[in-house]
Amino acid sequence: MRIVRLFWAGVQIESEGITLVIDLLEHTAALSSFLGDPHLPLAFAPELLDAALVTHLHPDHYDPDSLRQKLRPHAKVICDPANAAKIVHDGLTGVGATLYEPLSVGPFTVTALPAVDGLGDSQISFLVEAEDIKLMHFGDTLWHGYWWKIRARCGAPNVAFLPVNGAVTQFPGMTPSGIPADLTPDQAAAAAAILGTKIACPMHYGAFHNPPVYVEVPAPVQTFLAASDRLGVVARIVEPGSEVAIV
C-alpha cells in the first residue's frame, strides 16, 4: 500500500493499481470568506481516481468540483448515509456506509467508524484496509467516547490520521462557544494512544487561521509531538505531497 498525505485533511491511498482519496481538497476559493486564503501550498491527487471517501460535507473536506474532474465515471464516493443524497445531487455516485459494516472497493475494504462533528452535522471516520495494512482517518471529529470501541472492534491501525488544530470558530449566525470544533493536539495524542496506532500522523493544521472566524490553536504540531511523546505514541510529521513510510 502506498499512502500520500495531500492538502489539509486529504489522503491518497494506492494498492494493486487502484487509487482512492479521502477528503480531497484542491479548490479553496470558496473557503476564503470564512477560512481565509491557505497559508500552505496545495498538494494534488492523480488525474484519475478510482474511488473517494468523504467524512462529511464541510467545504474544506468535500470538494465536488475536484471529484467530478478526477473520478472515473461511476466511481463510488463513500460517505455517511445522511450525506449520500447531496453527493448524488452533485453528479457523483454517493454510497452510504453503515457504521462497522465493511464495503469492498477494489482491493480495499472500507469501514465507516463513529465520529462527532463540531457543528452538529453528519460525519463519519474511516478504516481502510489492504495488504494487511490498516489506516484510519478521522476527518475533523471532536473528542468522543468511541475510541475504545473502535480499537476493540477493528484492532490497532498501522497509521492513523488525526486532526490536531483545535479550531475555535465564530461563524456568522452562530453564537460562538469558545470550544474547539475538532480535536486539540492533546486530545489527538490521547486518541492515538487509545487506538494503539503504530504511527500517528497529524493533519488539518497550518493552512487556515482567520481570526476571529476561524482560530487555530498555537503551535498545534509541537504540542501534538510533545503530548505524543508523553503518552508513548510514535508521531510522524508528513508534509503534504509526501509519502508515509509504514512500519
Sheet holding 133-137, edge to edge: 103-105, 108-113, 125-130, 133-137, 159-163, 199-203
Please answer whether residues 192 and 162 qualify as being in contact, where contact means their C-beta atoms are separated by less than 8 angstroms: yes
Is residue 121 helix, strand or coil?
A: coil
Percentage above 90 pLDDT, the chain: 93
pLDDT tens, per residue, the chain with 247 residues: 999 999 999 999 999 999 999 999 999 988 988 898 999 999 999 999 999 999 999 999 999 999 999 999 999 999 999 999 999 999 999 999 999 999 999 999 999 999 999 999 999 999 999 999 999 999 999 999 999 999 999 999 999 999 999 999 999 999 999 999 999 999 999 999 999 999 999 999 999 999 999 999 999 999 999 999 999 999 999 999 999 988 6
Please answer whether residues 124 and 115 qualify as being in contact, where contact means their C-beta atoms are separated by less than 8 angstroms: yes
Buried b (16+ CB within 10 A) or exposed e, 94-120: bbbbeeeeebebbbbebbbbbbebbee
Is residue 64 helix, strand or coil?
A: helix
For the entire predicted model, the pTM comes to 0.97
Rounded distance, CA 8 to CA 230, Å? 26
Q: Return all residues near 173 (Cβ < 8 A) that are at least 6 apart.
A: none
Burial class (CB in 10 A: 0-12, 13-18, 19+), 88: middle
Grid cell locating 15: 494498492
Q: Return all residues near 89 (Cβ < 8 A) that are at least 6 apart.
A: none
For 66-116, give the DSSP string: HHHHHEEEEEEEEE-GGGHHHHHHTTSEEEE--BT--EEETTEEEEEE---
pLDDT digits (tens, 9 = 90+) for 196-208: 999 999 999 999 9
pLDDT digits (tens, 9 = 90+) for 158-177: 999 999 999 999 999 999 99
Torsion of CA 213, 38, 33, 224, to 10 degrees: -20
For 208-244, give the DSSP string: --BTTTEEPPSSHHHHHHHHHHHHT--B----TTPBP
Rounded distance, CA 155 to CA 63, Å? 31
Give me Rg for the CA atoms of the chain. 17
